[in-house]
Amino acid sequence: MKVQLLYFASLADRAGCGAEARDSAARTPRELYAEVAAAHGFAFAIERLRVAVNGAFVEFDRPLADGDEVVFVPPVSGG
């Protein structure tokens, strides 16, 4: 299936892009994060992230569908 990924903050810095279309066999955001973390060298443990699919925050075990937009949201600090 093809998914659209959006990256923000340190994840975008590490990936070298703010977005990418990806062909993936991942069935859930948890599996997808493992895939992109390995590809881009993301260091955040999944427990430190939130995930949104098609604009809504969801659990990491929610099934993905072809064409979904997935956003992994890293922790942020304010000042």
- Specify the pairing of strand 2-7 against strand 69-73: parallel
The pTM is what?
0.93
DSSP 63: P
Topology, domain 2-73:
Ubiquitin-like (UB roll) (3.10.20)
Q: What is the pLDDT of residues 14-66, one digit of tens each?
A: 999 999 999 999 999 999 999 999 999 999 999 999 999 999 999 999 999 99
Place of tokens 């599996």: 31
Place of tokens 């809504």: 56
The span from the CA of 62 to the CA of 13, in Å, is 26
**Residue 23 burial by Cβ neighbours in a 10 Å radius (0-12, 13-18, 19+):** exposed
CA 67-69-72 angle, to 5 degrees, is 145
Domain extents in the chain: 2-73
